[in-house]
Amino acid sequence: MFRPVSLRFKILVLIFVPLILQLALLAIVANLQNQAEDEARRAECSRQIADEVIDISHDLVLVRTNMHGEQSIPADPTLGRQYQTLAESIDRHFSNLRRLTVDKPALAQAVEKAIVSMRQSKNLMDEARAEFRAGKLEGKVGRYKYVVRFRNLTRELSDQLLGLGDAGKAEADASPEIQRKFREEVQFVLIGGGVANIFLTLLLGVILTRSIVNRLKIMNDNSYRLASDKPLNQLVSGNDEIAQLDKVFHDMAAALKEAARKERAILDNANDCICSFDSSLKFVNVNPACEEFFALSQDEIIATHLFDYLGAEDTEKACVFLSKVSQGVNTGAVTLSIKRADGEVREVLWSSQWAPGEGKTGELFSIFHDVTEHLAAERLKQEVVAMVTHDLRSPLMTVQNYLQFLADGSYGDPGEQAKQYLPGAQRSSERMMRLIGDLLDIEKINSGMMELERKKVSVQKVFQETIEQASNLANDFKVSLVVEHASMFVDADEEKLLRVLANLVSNAIKFSPKGGIVTVSAKVNNKVVTFTVADTGVGIAPEMLDTVFDRFQQARNQTSRTRGGSGLGLTICKALVLLHGGKIWVESKEGSGSRFNFELPLAN
């Protein structure tokens, strides 16, 4: 079994171990083949030695035949010429024998002995030939003693050559058997090594496969267990890639389980009805809040249709909404009237997201938010606004007119004490009228009842009108107004733009110290015009920057110069700018003044 190493290392072992064994087999076979070839060369050398011995023996026979008797020398006039040829042939054959027996010490020693005998025979023959020539000149013939000695020497040389030939022949005869053994060894190594290599490869493959497959089966079983919400198997052994993957899978399963637990906790504790529908708007899953929502248990809600709780008008609205959602159109939320099982009607906001599945299946995940109380409060607020419009504004106008008549002396001299309090009463009534007007405007904007009369508006003209309206207030607060020239035009409602600038300039004046400067400017930035109202006042605290445009928000550092506002001026400015499709923001550092900026589209 593999020790715990990486999967890559195991695969490399599976590849390289059989490969190394195969290389070893090749080395063994190559060595045996080399030995067989060496043996074949030795056999060939032995054969050549035998051939050389035969040739030498043949030449010796010819020499001995020519010297068979005492009369042979004078009887054979060609002896000298034949002898010379045979002597050269014998020398050549002995040279070949010496070359062939270089690496055979025993045979080389025998060859050297034969060469000594050959030289003795040659010397004797030379001596006989010399005697022959002397005898012929003197008329003497025959030297039998040379013949006898020559025969003895050549017989001894023949015996030596026969021994040498027999040794070479014996070695040559033994070579086929040796070569056969080498071939058998090569065959055995090839077959045995091949079988061993196959067996080892199969063994390693089985071990590695079992190591991988068994653990993959565990991981596959873990995937089914995860899908079935069952406990996972223990971590697989090892520290290779599969073990690491299994650990990651366990970590992922734990994270999914924790996420599912949190999701379940959120769903179980949510106040909104969270549920899912199939493509026919049939309930599939619901959270506990749905029980209170529909006055039914969860089991009773499932398998019912949303249409069971809707009227005819809302059913048509729900079908249109479902069609758009299934097409991926972001429609926001739609308001429906839900009739509960106990007969109570609740107003809800229905928002959904379609999750397509395989084929035509899919689920519609939905959230129903109960807005019954919210809509009731909105209706009450609208009633209050209507009451303010009709029941408060008219009496206030009457009071305001009466105070004006008193101040004008239409009812006679009111007296010194009345004159002292009349200005304060008039300011209070005017403030109340402005507050009512601001509230009405905000409600009109929020309800979509305020419309814009957009046109091409000269920025310079609006600046001039703004300064004219704010000049008296600036004089009262001893603040200078500076207007930078602006020649551009914007696409806006002139009256609403004038109101935004007037509110921002009046605020800047109120928060500027005596001798302060309020600057009004505008510049073109791409396709928008950026308006800026800057003052040299006390600035705004950092924590107030994000809420300065909220309703009834007033700076903490207000003084008697700035008190008395409704707290709705900046809220109205933001609402009017957003109504134009622009944006508004403030830049301020406490103690260094403020810069209110807003953008409107540049006119063509």
Burial class (CB in 10 A: 0-12, 13-18, 19+), 180: exposed
Give the pLDDT mean for 458-474.
Answer: 92
H helices of 295-447, in order, are 298-301, 312-326, 372-387, 393-408, 416-446
Which parts of 45-123 are beta strand (E)? none
Q: Which residues contact 508 (CB under 8 A, 6 or more apart)?
A: 518, 533, 534, 535, 537, 594, 596
Ranges 91-100, 398-407, 424-433, 533-542, most confident: 533-542
Mean pLDDT calculated for residue range 129-156:
57
Task: Return d(Cα 567, Cα 434) in angstroms, integer.
Answer: 11
Mean pLDDT of 52-77: 60
pLDDT of 92: 80
For the chain, state the CA radius of gyration: 62
Under the banding of pLDDT at 50, 70 and 90, the label for residue 271 is: confident
pLDDT, average across residues 247-256: 85
Residues near 63 by Cβ (< 8 Å), separated by ≥ 6? Answer: 83, 86, 125, 154
What is the tens place of the pLDDT at every residue in 196-222? 878 888 887 787 777 777 777 888 888
pLDDT above 90: percentage of residues in the chain: 14
**Higher pLDDT among residues 163 and 264, named by residue:** 264
pLDDT value for 388: 66
Q: For the whole model, what pTM was predicted?
A: 0.44
Residue 595: strand pairing partners: 534, 587
* pLDDT of res. 509: 92
Spatial separation of the C-alpha atoms in residues 375 and 337, rounded to whole Å:
12
Q: β-pairing, 480-483 with 594-601?
A: unpaired
End-to-end C-alpha distance for the chain, whole angstroms:
82
pLDDT digits (tens, 9 = 90+) for 508-541: 998 899 999 999 999 998 899 999 999 998 888 8
